[in-house]
Structure 1
Amino acid sequence: MAAIVLLGDINIDLVLDIPAYPPEGGEAIATAQRHMLGGSATNTAIALSRAGHDCRLIGRVGQDAWGQQALSSLEDIGVSTAWIGRDPSEPTQTNIVTVGKSGERTMFAYRGANAHLSPAFIADDVFGDAALFHLSGYALLQSPQSDAAMRAIELAQEGGIPVTLDIPAGVALSVAPQVCNLLPKLDTIMLGGADLAPLAGGGSDTPAEEAIRSLLHQGVKRIALKHDAAGSSLYQNAGVESAPWFFVAAVDTTGAGDAFAAGHIIGRLSGLPGAECCRLANAFGAVAVTRQGAGTSMPALAEVMALIGADNGNRPEKAGLREELERP
């Protein structure tokens, strides 16, 4: 399987199930509490590692118990921690994640050691024989981590390694200037429909097709777009291909976008057609929302293929997907 380098946040999530959100100054009594490994790039790395890939995570944790727990959990899963540093002054990032009755998550975070990753910590050898570099959009929020991300992109480019960028919901406006400068260097960007307009430099009323054309014109090769209801699509200069969402009972949406990114990366490296990349990404996201939290709860490829298989019914044209994914 392929070697994949990832750069982004590593954190511990304190997940609270909240039956109802109080007004500011009020109180809510949680019905359950969990501590879990998290972080956008971390979640994607875990899903990719469980699919058999050699994942090398670049990041930073504190010299504290949470940091040691994160490193131990990643090592147990098989994600390489050789390029994760320990910060002497900042703590490991902790997220407070509240999950409402619908399964939708709300997140509060102190970025801690993650934001202090600097270009000096990016070692050239991490990209040796790598097939792809994946970057989480959170890494573009502030310096020096954003500078480290730029350095990593430079190294990937020098090695002819394609770069994918996941733009989590809610940060598109904050990272838009950096992303616009990066578009010619990117193979794939992954984002939600609501984040298209700010990323393309238009207003909220900018038509989606116009924003997509603008991004492709600026140099990005592939746009993996999550629609609100219809499913997801992969846009390229050659055209657009799509796949519908899977219908599952949502328990917790934490990490769904990170799982979606893993599906697209696997499809991209396996050479799947655009529609099958979308279908695989949708299935990864669907399995992710059926369990609590992210991190070590991220889906395994066998679980994703079981969902796709159950949904295929009598469509024999989909029968070769597993064989495509399992090719050396």
Structure 2
Amino acid sequence: MPAVAVLGDINVDLTLQVPTYPPEGGEGIAERQSHGLGGSATNTARILAGLGLPVHFIGKTGKDSWGDWCLGAMRQAGVETGWVRRDEAEPTQLNVVVVSASGERTMFAYRGANVRLRADEVDPAALAGTALLHLSGYALLQAPQREAALRAVAQAASAGIPVSLDIPAGITGTIKETVLALLPTIDTLFLGEADARLLGASTDGPALDRVARNLIETGARNVVIKRGARGSLLHSRQHKFVSPAARIEAVDTTGAGDAFAAGYLFGIVNDLSPAGASALANAAGAIAATTLGSGADAVDRQTLLAMIGSMGIESSQAGRIAALLGVAPVRPD
């Protein structure tokens, strides 16, 4: 399996299921509480490692007990943490994730040690022998972490390593100029529909195809737009694919976009077609959305194949995905 490098946040997620979201100044009494390992890049890294890819993680935690716990959990998941730095001054990030009855999540976070990753702490050895560098958009929010991310992208570009960038919902307005400048170095850009429209705004109107083409013309080689229950849309200079979503009842959308990116990247680095990789992405995102918390632990080879089987994927493509996953397809009697 090819190795990949991942740069981004590491944090602890404290998840509260609240049946009714309170107004400001009110009180929301949770029906359930849980905590787990989180961070957009960390979620993607854990899934990729669980699917068998060697994963080199670049990031930073506090030099505290939460940081110890996060690194132990990452190593247990198969993620290589030798390039994760520890910070004396700031704590490991803690996210409070409030999940409403509809499964939608609202997050409150102090980014702590993540932001303090410096450019000189990005070791080129983390990229050695890797087939891809994956970057979370959160890493572009603040300095010095932003400069560390840009250093890693420059190192990847000079080594001929493709770069993918996943932009989580809600931060595009803050990082827009940085992203537009980066697009010529980005092989695959992941983002939601609203963020795609903001980043690729068109004077020709709001048509999503035009928005995607604008991003391609700005420099990105592949644009993958996450559309939730409507599936996903992939645009490149040569291709356009519309991939249908799995039919599920969402429990918690936390981490669904991170799982989506992991499914796509797993397919691409293993030479699956863009259409097949998009199907894997939709399947992984759906699995995560049916699980409380990030859903990273729920995405594995068996659950992916089962979800693919429920999506009505064309049989030859489903067979190629099954072969990649190393799981024998179920044959009818």
Q: Same fold (TM over 0.5)?
A: yes
Residue 180 (structure 1) aligned with residue 180 (structure 2): yes
* Residues 202 and 175 of structure 1: CA distance in aligned 2, closer, same or farther (over 3 Å): farther
Whether the 8 Å contact between 1:291 and 1:297 is mirrored in structure 2 is no
Letter in 2 for 1:100: S
Q: Which runs of 5+ in 1 are unaligned?
A: none
Alpha-carbon offset, residue 81 of structure 1? 0.7
Letter in 1 for 2:293: G
Residue 37 (structure 2) aligns with: 37
Residue 51 (structure 2) aligns with: 51
Letter in 2 for 1:155: Q
Residue 154 (structure 1) aligned with residue 149 (structure 2): no
Residue 198 (structure 1) aligns with: 198
Residue 80 (structure 1) aligns with: 80
For the residues of structure 1 that align with 2:112 and 2:156, how far apart are their CA atoms?
26
For the residues of structure 1 that align with 2:314 and 2:70, how far apart are their CA atoms?
43
Residue by residue over 1:143-182, the C-alpha shift from the partner in whole angstroms, topping out at 9 and shown as x without a partner, is: 0000000000011011110000000011111111000000
Letter in 1 for 2:80: S
Secondary structure of 1:319's match?
Answer: helix
Instruction: State how 1:63-142 maps to structure 2 within 5 Å.
Output: 63-142=63-142
Moved more, 1-10 or 229-238: 229-238
Alpha-carbon offset, residue 326 of structure 1? 4.7
Alpha-carbon offset, residue 204 of structure 1? 12
Letter in 2 for 1:14: L
Whether the 8 Å contact between 2:163 and 2:188 is mirrored in structure 1 is yes
Alpha-carbon offset, residue 236 of structure 1? 0.5
For the residues of structure 1 that align with 2:258 and 2:96, how far apart are their CA atoms?
18
TM-score computed with the length of structure 1 as normaliser: 0.95
Residue 272 (structure 1) aligns with: 272
Residue 248 (structure 2) aligns with: 248
For the residues of structure 2 that align with 1:318 and 1:78, how far apart are their CA atoms?
27
RMSD: 1.8
Whether the 8 Å contact between 1:16 and 1:34 is mirrored in structure 2 is yes
Identity of aligned residues (%): 45
* Residues 68 and 38 of structure 1: CA distance in aligned 2, closer, same or farther (over 3 Å): same
Whether the 8 Å contact between 1:46 and 1:298 is mirrored in structure 2 is no
Alpha-carbon offset, residue 209 of structure 1? 2.3
Alpha-carbon offset, residue 199 of structure 1? 1.1
Alpha-carbon offset, residue 316 of structure 1? 4.9
Alpha-carbon offset, residue 314 of structure 1? 8.3
* Residues 289 and 280 of structure 1: CA distance in aligned 2, closer, same or farther (over 3 Å): same
Letter in 2 for 1:177: E
Residue by residue over 1:255-296, the C-alpha shift from the partner in whole angstroms, topping out at 9 and shown as x without a partner, is: 000000001101211222222111110000011111111165
Whether the 8 Å contact between 1:36 and 1:295 is mirrored in structure 2 is no
Alpha-carbon offset, residue 196 of structure 1? 1.3
Residue 14 (structure 2) aligns with: 14
For the residues of structure 1 that align with 2:296 and 2:325, how far apart are their CA atoms?
22
Whether the 8 Å contact between 1:287 and 1:303 is mirrored in structure 2 is yes
Moved more, 63-72 or 199-208: 199-208
* Residues 228 and 40 of structure 1: CA distance in aligned 2, closer, same or farther (over 3 Å): closer
Alpha-carbon offset, residue 310 of structure 1? 3.9
Residue by residue over 1:102-145, the C-alpha shift from the partner in whole angstroms, topping out at 9 and shown as x without a partner, is: 11111011000000011011001111110000000000001000
TM-score computed with the length of structure 2 as normaliser: 0.94
Residue by residue over 1:286-319, the C-alpha shift from the partner in whole angstroms, topping out at 9 and shown as x without a partner, is: 1111111116534112211121124448835522
Whether the 8 Å contact between 1:7 and 1:59 is mirrored in structure 2 is yes
Whether the 8 Å contact between 1:55 and 1:79 is mirrored in structure 2 is yes
Secondary structure of 1:81's match?
Answer: strand
Residue 5 (structure 1) aligns with: 5
